[in-house]
Amino acid sequence: MRIRDLIAMDQLRLTLLSGGEHMDRPFTGVHITDLPDPGRYLSGGELVLTGLMWRRDPEDSRRFVETLAKAKVAALGAGRARLGHVPDDVVEACREHDLPLLDVPTEISFRTLSELVEGRLAGARAVDLRGALGRHRRIVAAVAEGAGLEELFALTAEELGIAAAVISSTGTVIAGRLEGDLPVRLAREYLSATRLPHLARTSGGPFTLFGVDRAHRAAGWALVCGADLIDDADTGFELAACVALSRSRTEEGRRVERRLAEQLIALACSGGADPAELAARLRTCGIDAAEPYAVVMATVARRGATDGPDPAVLGGQVIEELLDRRVVAAAGADGAVALVPLRTLRTPLEESGETWTGAPMRRNVHVQGQTQVQRSVQTLQALLGERVATLQATLLRTTVSVGVSGGLTGPGAIRGGAEEAGHARRLAEARGGGVVTSDEIYTHGLLLATVPDDVRRSFADRILAPLFDYDRRHQSELVRTVGTFLDCGGSWNICAERLHVHVNTVRYRIRRIEELTGRDLSTMADRVDLFLALRAS
């Protein structure tokens, strides 16, 4: 209800004394008071009615009106019953604070005015409620009839005046429109929010974030509403439920794809599968026999969690989101496994206009010393590395461990690729999460990653404990010296330069290290023992 509507009610005979430019200002209810400072009882948007019982001098008027202005009330109605008129100082104070002032005749009781206004407001709320229910029914009906997310958001903008979008945990826009780096920024807000819905304030205005379903946030979707809906969260929850319904429909088809991928990987890893059957199953999963692909294995562990999804199941959900749902992942005993066709990535080959179809991939075209396949695998590794790093940095109690194989071709390579990706994933897990590639696993790091923690610690302590103890007691640097010496390939002079000491000091320290450890650093075997002990410590 607006001030204009109130003045138009002839039975009230109200007169506007100030604020004529605010005739279209709405108000949400009526508050009657004669307290000199009613600010604590006001929530904003009210029509305040007063009999001026608080007024003793003009200064009282200034203080009273200032309190109303700070509370952001819609207007003030002053009764004549006590003074017989509305004092000029009240009018001036209202003009100073840009507050509409209504003159209420003596014969009009505040109770009558309040009941009349509240009746009109109740009727308006009923109309608004019927309109809201009608809009809600139209939106739900559209979703029930199979409308996609883009249609849903177009209808939401038309019916509710709210711009909406859906983003993944990686900041990919799934539906709707968000410009620039806003999707990634909002995804980080979604991941780090202590609770949902969450209000994100940006230079482009406020955005309210709602969780779409009960999925772990690392694999979840966020509904982004371009408005502050914290006080009107029901609207956002309804939209999020509609998005969840749309997502569940998509998931039905993906479950079939996951089952086919699981059967293919299990058959390939069994070692006794018929090559022709493997090739047929590979094609069923959307990969041609001559097409290059990589194997990705992932787990996602939640530190301290005693319930929730299995790390392999959650790993599969996360890897699908990391790759924008262009692949499906099959959960296995050691982690979730996904076969990633390299054509799903934007590579130099795609930029040149060529495609990944048929035999041309056998050509092994080189670009800047690398094959197209190698460059595509690097693109995959970089994409996963960047997105996993964001998840690890934002979800502090969640460890994402991903292993990536090299480029593969044909069904016969699946088993080796899965083993390669599995070793890389275990190394990533040993490092506390992240992405490890096949290039990194064929080193001593793989051997250390497969050794139990207690054995690794025991090995390191047995060799290095005398050095650590000596350094503590003498404030020396034997541990640092042996590490630098080995990194320098056993060169006395280079080691001395890096440590900024005389070469004779290095020789003295090395002799002391050999005495304390019983190792001879002139032999390769003993150098390897010390090197591995340092890496395992």
Summarize pLDDT for 170-199 with one digit per residue, the tens: 899 998 888 888 999 999 999 999 899 999
Inside any domain, residue 279: no
Contact between 265 and 332 (Cβ < 8 Å): yes
Examine residue 125 and state whether it is found in any structural domain, yes or no.
Answer: no
Same domain, 446 and 302: yes
Distances (CA, A) of 173 to 126, 180, 375, 395: 37, 11, 26, 20
Distance from C-alpha of 416 to C-alpha of 265, rounded to nearest angstrom: 11
In a domain, 347, yes or no: yes
Q: How does DSSP classify residue 146?
A: T
Given 417, 450, 483, the domain boundary residue is 450
* CATH value at residue 89: 3.40.1390.20
Cis peptide leading into residue 197 (ω within 30°): yes
Task: Please check the confidence at residue 367 and state whether its pLDDT lies above 80.
Answer: no
Nearest to 26 by CA among 47, 48, 49, 50: 47
Q: What is the mean pLDDT of residues 218-239?
A: 86
Could you say which of 238, 270, 302 is where a domain stops? 270
Domain that holds residue 505: 453-536
Is pLDDT above 50 for 292? yes
Residue 159 lies in a domain: yes
Residue with tokens 């990536």: 404
Q: Label residue 76 by pLDDT band (50, 70, 90).
A: very high
Lowest pLDDT segment from 118-122, 207-211, 303-307, 386-390: 303-307
Largest CA distance in the chain: 111
Q: Are residues 301 and 419 in the same domain?
A: yes
Task: Check pLDDT > 50 for residue 140.
Answer: yes
pLDDT of residue 319 exceeding 90:
yes
Together in a domain, 301 and 266: no
Q: Which residues contact 81 (CB under 8 A, 6 or more apart)?
A: 51, 106
CATH of the domain at 178: 3.30.450.30
Which of 535, 332, 319 lies closest to 435 in space, CA to CA? 319
- Total Cβ atoms within 10 A of residue 56: 9
Residue 435 shares a structural domain with residue 493? no
| Close Cβ partners of 249 (under 8 Å, ≥ 6 residues apart) | none
User: Has residue 128 been placed in a domain?
Assistant: no
**What's the average model confidence in pLDDT over 52-76?**
92
Residues 329 and 446 in one domain: yes
Q: How confident is the model at residue 378 (pLDDT cuts 50, 70, 90)?
A: confident
Residue 232 corresponds to which tokens in the numbers above? 């009107």
Residues 96, 54, single domain; the answer is yes
User: Given 3-state DSSP classes, what are the helix, strand and coil percentages for the chain, each rounded to the nearest 5?
Assistant: 55, 15, 30
**From CA 421, how far away is CA 417, in angstroms rounded?**
6
Tens of pLDDT, residue by residue over 77-134, are 998 878 888 999 999 999 999 999 999 888 888 888 888 887 777 655 544 434 444 5
CA distances to 200, 236, 331 from 230, in Å: 11, 9, 38
> Quick check: is 344 in a domain?
yes
Residue 335's Cβ-side half-sphere holds a number of Cα atoms within 13 Å equal to 28
Query: Own/partner pairs for 184-193, CB < 8 Å, 24+ apart?
Result: 184/390, 186/222, 186/224, 187/222, 187/390, 188/390, 188/394, 190/217, 190/220, 190/222, 191/217, 191/218, 191/390, 191/391, 191/394, 191/395, 192/394, 192/395
- Provide the total of helices (H) and of strands (E) in the chain, helices listed first: 19, 18
Per residue in 15-53, pLDDT (tens digit) is 889 888 888 888 878 888 888 899 888 888 888 999 899
Residues 458 and 445 in one domain: no
Q: What is the pLDDT of residue 144?
A: 57
In DSSP terms, which residues pair with 29 in a beta bridge? 46
Q: 139 lies in a domain?
A: no
* Separation of CA 382 from chain center: 19
Q: Evaluate if residue 403 carries a pLDDT over 60.
A: yes
278 belongs to a structural domain = no
CA distance 533 to 537: 6
DSSP letters for 50-114? E--TT-SSHHHHHHHHHHHHHTT-SEEEEE-TTTSS--HHHHHHHHHTT--EEEE-TTS-HHHHH
CA distance 300 to 92: 67
Provide the pLDDT for residue 162: 80
Q: What is the mean pLDDT of residues 309-323?
A: 89
What's the CA gap between 183 and 98, in Å, rounded? Answer: 40
Same domain? For 62 and 161 the reply is: no
| Strand segments (E) across 95-235 | 101-104, 164-168, 173-175, 198-202, 205-211, 221-225
- What integer pLDDT is reported at residue 89 of this predicted model? 94
User: Span 225-233, mean pLDDT?
Assistant: 85
Query: Is residue 78 within 8 Å of residue 103, measured between CB atoms?
Result: yes
Please tell me the distance from the alpha carbon of residue 30 to that of residue 25, in angstroms, as a whole number: 14
**pTM for this one?**
0.58
Q: How far is CA 139 from CA 133, 148, 178, 223, in A?
A: 10, 11, 22, 16
HSE-up of residue 128 (Cα within 13 Å, Cβ side): 8
Residue with the bigger pLDDT between 87 and 343: it is 87
Calculate the average pLDDT of the chain: 82
CATH number at residue 409: 3.30.70
> Which amino acid, 300?
V
Same-domain check for residues 506 and 438: no
Write down the residue that tokens 């199953």 correspond to: 281
- Give CA–CA dist 221/389, Å, rounded: 18
CATH of the domain at 464: 1.10.10.2840
Residue 193 corresponds to which tokens in the numbers above?
């929010």
Phi, psi (deg, nearest 5) at residue 103: -90, 115
Which residue, 431, 450, 469, sits at the end of a domain?
A: 450
Q: Return d(Cα 239, Cα 147) in angstroms, integer.
A: 13
Do residue 460 and residue 445 come from a single domain?
Answer: no
Q: Are both 408 and 477 inside the same structural domain?
A: no
**Domain total of the chain:** 4
**Rounded alpha-carbon distances, angstroms, from residue 482 to 180, 313, 489, 490, 506:** 50, 44, 11, 9, 9
Q: Is there a single domain that holds both residue 403 and residue 529? A: no
